[in-house]
């Protein structure tokens, strides 16, 4: 079962009722609610995504299997991310776009360690002055993440490095990695480290094993950010 509806004023409301609601003056307008709530649920294919591996794999499984209700606020970052991706798609249609030297929304598939991974990376730009290598940019929609520590930091570090290996395996000569953080305070780009290939593979294999064996990887984010914690045997409260 995918998303079943939203939590609203202490009640559980179905997706349809939330979309039809005419008491929505303090809520995101209908087009935003449609984008937030009309989610596609992909089955367990022969591949996994980078997002599944870098988050808690059990959360992804439970979100596919169990009916769950989420607060509309929890979709805000996803919605904002969608807007930024539309910007990249729009830039690709411009006469200024350098075809062959820059790529956005790059879909790729690659075996890294044990799993076949399928993902989309944000933006690649070729730098002729850097030995004709690409820099991979990963767009992030909040500056707060710059201050993030612990599991969130690992999450981003490995996310970018899995993207890097996947793109290299697909023929892109990727050198450095940069985050581009954006929020209402403006934007900031930050270089982040390249992790040795074997370390990335070990991480991928560990998380893939958790996925295959339905093991949760609790972090300080369970209480506030996991909408399926009520079904999780690993959740002990944060």
Query: Site residues (CB under 6 A) for ligand SF4?
Result: 6, 8, 13, 18, 21, 23-24, 27, 56, 58-59, 62, 72, 216-218, 222, 226, 228-229, 232, 234-235
Residue 13 or 180 with smaller CB distance to ligand SF4: 13
Neighbours of 22 (CB within 10 A): 5
For residues 2 and 42, what is the distance between their CA atoms, to the nearest angstrom?
10
Residues in the chain: 238
In 35-115, at which residue ranges do the beta strands (DSSP E only) sit?
A: 68-70, 102-111
Give me the torsion for CA of 218, 223, 227, 232, rounded to 10°. 50
Instruction: Report, in Å, the least distance between residue 138 CB and ligand SF4.
Output: 22
Instruction: Report, in Å, the least distance between residue 154 CB and ligand SF4.
Output: 14
Instruction: Report, in Å, the least distance between residue 181 CB and ligand SF4.
Output: 24
Instruction: Report, in Å, the least distance between residue 13 CB and ligand SF4.
Output: 4
Residue 13 or 126 with smaller CB distance to ligand SF4: 13
User: 237: burial class by Cβ within 10 Å (0-12, 13-18, 19+)?
Assistant: exposed
Instruction: Report, in Å, the least distance between residue 158 CB and ligand SF4.
Output: 16
Residue 95 or 236 with smaller CB distance to ligand SF4: 236
Residue 62 or 168 with smaller CB distance to ligand SF4: 62
Please tell me the number of Cα atoms within 13 Å of 191 on its side-chain side: 5
């Amino acid at each position: 079962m995918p998303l079943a509806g939203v939590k609203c004023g202490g009640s559980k409301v179905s997706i349809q009722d939330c979309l039809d609601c005419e008491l929505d003056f303090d809520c995101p307008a209908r087009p935003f609610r449609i984008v937030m709530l009309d989610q596609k649920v992909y089955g367990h294919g022969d591949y996994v995504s980078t997002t599944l591996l870098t988050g808690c794999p059990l959360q992804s499984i439970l979100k596919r299997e169990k009916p769950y209700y989420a607060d509309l606020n929890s979709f805000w970052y996803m919605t904002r991310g969608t807007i930024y991706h539309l910007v990249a798609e729009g830039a690709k249609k411009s006469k200024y776009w350098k075809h062959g030297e820059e790529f956005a929304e790059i879909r790729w598939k690659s075996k890294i360690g044990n799993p076949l991974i399928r993902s989309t990376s944000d933006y690649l730009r070729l730098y002729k002055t850097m030995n004709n290598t690409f820099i991979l940019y990963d767009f992030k929609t909040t500056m707060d993440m710059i201050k993030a520590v612990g599991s969130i930091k690992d999450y981003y570090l490995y996310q970018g490095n899995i993207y890097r290996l996947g793109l290299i395996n697909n023929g892109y000569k990727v050198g450095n990695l940069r985050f581009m953080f954006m929020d209402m305070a403006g934007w900031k780009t930050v270089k982040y480290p390249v992790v040795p290939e074997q370390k990335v593979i070990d991480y991928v294999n560990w998380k893939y094993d958790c996925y295959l064996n339905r093991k949760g990887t609790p972090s300080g984010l369970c209480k506030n950010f996991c909408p399926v914690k009520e079904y999780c045997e690993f959740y002990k409260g944060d």
